[in-house]
């Protein structure tokens, strides 16, 4: 009788272990499917200014303007984000408010790329989905839109967010 009870207990433990392992595998599979859906859907990727520092610059001669300018070589982490929907928080800087031209900066106006000592990787051009809203200098916002890398058009910033809209209001 004792051996029968022991055999039943061993069988139950073995069955419970199998059921737990099967449940665990199914649970992992559903998590992986969820993770895949999250990465493959249009959920924006929250990026930081540190992420945008994955770039190096070399001086390059631009004959159309007769000037040397910094030419970017984007690193692999930034290249993966090109064309992706992102969220980025920073300070809004009016470039030409009447023309709806703004930039997002890692730093306030007094320390930004244009006025302070920051590098070109610390500003992002904003191309808004809807025009008409006027921003004050140094308003801090999180913006959502499609990140576009720019190495060749010297009349635009190296980073741009197209279809930008405020995500924190």
Quote the pLDDT of residue 122.
94
Residue 134 pLDDT > 50, yes or no? yes
For residues 124 and 138, give the distance between their C-alpha atoms in angstroms, rounded to a whole number.
Answer: 14
Give this prediction's pTM: 0.72
The CA-based diameter of the chain, rounded to the nearest angstrom, is 98
The pLDDT, as a whole number, for residue 59 is: 96
Q: Of residues 98 and 127, which shows the higher confidence score?
A: 127
> Phi, psi at residue 7, to the nearest 5°?
-65, -40
Confidence grade of residue 117 (pLDDT, cut at 50, 70, 90): confident
pLDDT of 149 over the 60 cut: yes
pLDDT of residue 17: 38
Please state, in angstroms and rounded to a whole number, the distance separating the CA atoms of residues 9 and 17. 12
Q: How confident is the model at residue 131 (pLDDT cuts 50, 70, 90)?
A: confident
Q: Are 123 and 114 in contact (CB under 8 A)?
A: yes
Query: Of all helices (H) and strands (E), which one includes residue 145?
Result: strand 139-149
Residue 36: predicted pLDDT = 37
> What is the enclosing helix (H) or strand (E) of 91?
strand 85-96
Rama region for 117: left / alpha / beta (φ>0; ψ in -120 to 50; rest): alpha
Query: Which pLDDT tens digit goes with each residue over 78-96?
Result: 999 999 999 999 999 999 8
Residue 12: predicted pLDDT? 36
First-to-last C-alpha distance (Å) of the chain? 71
| 3-state SS assignment for residue 103 | strand
Per residue in 18-62, pLDDT (tens digit) is 333 333 334 444 444 433 334 445 699 999 999 999 999 999 999
Other Cβ atoms less than 10 A from the Cβ of 97: the count is 13
Q: Are the C-beta atoms of 90 and 106 separated by less than 8 Å?
A: yes
User: Could you say which DSSP state residue 144 is in?
Assistant: E
As a whole-number percent, the residues of the chain with pLDDT over 70 amount to 74
Computed over every residue of the chain, the mean pLDDT equals: 79
């Amino acid at each position: 009788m004792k051996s029968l009870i022991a055999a039943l207990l061993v069988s139950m433990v073995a069955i419970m272990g199998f059921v737990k392992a099967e449940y665990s595998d199914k649970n992992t599979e559903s998590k992986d499917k969820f993770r895949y859906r999250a990465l493959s859907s249009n959920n924006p990727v929250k990026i930081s200014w540190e992420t945008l520092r994955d770039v190096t610059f070399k001086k390059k001669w631009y004959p159309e303007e007769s000037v040397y300018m910094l030419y970017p070589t984007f690193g692999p982490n930034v290249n993966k984000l090109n064309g992706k929907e992102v969220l980025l928080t920073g300070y809004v800087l009016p470039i030409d408010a009447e023309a709806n031209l703004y930039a997002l900066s890692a730093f306030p106006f007094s320390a930004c790329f244009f006025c302070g000592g920051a590098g070109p990787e610390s500003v992002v051009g904003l191309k808004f989905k809807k025009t008409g809203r006027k921003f004050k200098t140094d308003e801090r916002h999180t913006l959502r839109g499609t990140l576009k890398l720019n190495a060749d058009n010297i009349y635009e910033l190296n980073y741009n967010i197209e279809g930008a809209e405020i995500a924190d209001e």
